[in-house]
Amino acid sequence: MVDYRRIIDKAKGAVHSSKGRDLLLYLMFVCVAFVFWFFLSLDSEQQRDYDVPVEIENVPDSITMLGRVPSSLNVSVQGKGYQLIRFMWGKMPLMRIRFFDNVTEENVFALPRPKLESRLREYFGQGVQIQSMRPDSLRIRYTTVPGVMVKLDINSDIHTDLQYVLSGPITANVDSVRVFAPNGLPSSVTEVITEPLIRSG
């Protein structure tokens, strides 16, 4: 069995020895130096890059966004360490953007650069400077018109190796797709063709 009392007595003896006292003194100075360094770094200017998660809230169910809504903004900021300390650990808080506050014209959700910068200053705090952001603005068209199902055609040019043949036409796992347009789909649109798919071998 492990004799814990003997181990504790040895540890006490080591601590009370001259080498043990020197080691404890050294560790204490290291801790004090770390505390001073930490507080000095909090008061210094720092530049950091963050991925700020974004969510457009209060979008009615009747509205379909026609452009890609970014899931996050890549932002470079400059500020004092104590201003940025809350963003150093854990998940970045979500930046919520209200839909109806940013509808600038019919069927357009837009956040121009000055307004987006203003939102980011609120997010990080007024003392923090926004150095750059990507994307630097948001402009997304939307529609309230229901989508229309149209046929899907595959535009492909596929060649097999010698001694092999295709057993049939190339097909997709869906035969139709739902298409949306700001003011409704023109009646002349009856099918959707994929991007060219070229494969050989």
Residues 4-14: tens digit of each pLDDT: 666 666 666 66
pLDDT at 43: 61
Residues 44-87: tens digit of each pLDDT: 678 889 999 999 999 999 999 998 889 999 999 988 877 777 78
Which CATH number does the domain housing residue 58 bear? Answer: 2.170.120
| Among 21, 32, 49, 42, CA closest to 124 | 49
Same domain, 134 and 60: yes
Strand locations in the chain (E): 45-57, 64-65, 72-80, 95-98, 103-105, 108-111, 129-134, 138-143, 148-153, 156-159, 176-179, 191-193, 197-200
Q: What is the pTM (predicted TM-score) of this model?
A: 0.63
The number of domains in the chain is 3
Same domain, 67 and 130: yes
Alpha carbon distance 24, 37 (integer Å)? 20
Lookup: tokens for 49: 């890059």
Average pLDDT value for the chain: 84
Which residues constitute the domain of residue 135?
A: 45-143
Q: Give me the residues of the chain with pLDDT under 50, please.
A: none
